[in-house]
Amino acid sequence: MIKATQIRKGIIILLNEKLYRVDEMEHVTPGKGIAVVQTKLRDLNDMSVRNYRFRPSETVEKVVLDSNELTYSYQDEDNYIFMDNETFDQVSLSKDFLGDSVFYLQDGAIYTLESYRGTPMNLTPPTAMEFEVVEAETTLKGATVQASYKPAKLDNGMEIMVPPFIEVGNVIKVDTRDGSYIERVKK
């Protein structure tokens, strides 16, 4: 159990027999009245978001999720099959469960699966992954009035903003936390 003032972004808490991930947390001290801990909680069952206020003296149960590494193997219709690196068991995760993480699936890549009492809760891809640019706008020579980014489509189907010097065929590194360009990979 932790006090409400110890709640931090990213932790998992058990509240009213449901698991929630803290998306945002702010300690609010109004000029008049009692201070509160204002949170934005994501229900890990249906992924809905709700606001919740705690009094600083309240306690909540912090949940520690089990974590293990999985290797992506293949897609079977709307399910994606991973292999547990310790037990070699196959784990099937649905497209709905993966959400935007489906863009970051690469054969042989290692992912972290967080689970609670055997139920998968979250799949985290590696922090940075490499993808090839398959479409990119051409840049006008000498158009350097401002350092602007341009849209580019990657081989995983995702569109991101890249610097003007990136061309079709370049391999770039992408930050999987926010889908942003990191750097061009030198071959």
Q: What per-residue confidence (pLDDT) applies to 135?
A: 92
**Cα angle, residue 73 at apex, residues 67 and 75 outer, rounded to 5°:** 110
Q: What per-residue confidence (pLDDT) applies to 100?
A: 81
Q: How confident is the model at residue 69 (pLDDT cuts 50, 70, 90)?
A: very high
Position 104 pLDDT exceeds 80:
yes
The token duo for 127 is 């922090």
Q: What per-residue confidence (pLDDT) applies to 117?
A: 83
Q: What per-residue confidence (pLDDT) applies to 110?
A: 93
The mean pLDDT value for 1-23 works out to 87
Q: How confident is the model at residue 99 (pLDDT cuts 50, 70, 90)?
A: confident
**Cα angle, residue 80 at apex, residues 124 and 74 outer, rounded to 5°:** 105
pLDDT digit string, tens, across residues 151-184: 999 999 999 999 988 899 999 999 988 889 999 9
Q: What per-residue confidence (pLDDT) applies to 119?
A: 83
What are the residues facing 22 on neighbouring strands?
Answer: 41
Whole-angstrom distance, CA of residue 23 vs CA of residue 9? 6
| Domain ranges in the chain with CATH number 2.30.30.30 | 2-63
Q: What per-residue confidence (pLDDT) applies to 11?
A: 84
Position 144 pLDDT exceeds 60:
no
Whole-angstrom distance, CA of residue 178 vs CA of residue 2? 30
Contact 89, 83 (CB under 8 A): yes
Q: Which CATH architecture has domain 66-124?
A: Beta Barrel (2.40)
* 128-184 CATH choice from 2.40.50.100, 2.40.50.140, 1.10.287.3510, 3.65.10.10: 2.40.50.140
The token duo for 57 is 């003296």
* 2-63 CATH choice from 3.40.190.10, 1.10.3810.10, 2.30.30.30, 1.20.1630.10: 2.30.30.30
Q: CB count, 10 Å around CB of 93?
A: 20
The mean pLDDT value for 82-103 works out to 88
Of all residues in the chain, the percent with pLDDT exceeding 70 is 95
The mean pLDDT value for 103-111 works out to 92
What are the residues facing 153 on neighbouring strands?
Answer: 135, 159
The mean pLDDT value for 59-71 works out to 90
The mean pLDDT value for 20-30 works out to 87
Q: CB count, 10 Å around CB of 173?
A: 14
Looking at per-residue confidence, does 119 or 162 come out higher? 162
The mean pLDDT value for 108-126 works out to 88
The mean pLDDT value for 121-144 works out to 82
| Domain ranges in the chain with CATH number 2.40.50.140 | 66-124, 128-184
Q: Is the dihedral of CA 126, 131, 135, 136 positive or negative?
A: positive
Q: Is 17 left (phi over 0), alpha (psi -120 to 50) or beta?
A: left
Whole-angstrom distance, CA of residue 118 vs CA of residue 140? 54
Position 103 pLDDT exceeds 60:
yes
Whole-angstrom distance, CA of residue 39 vs CA of residue 76? 38
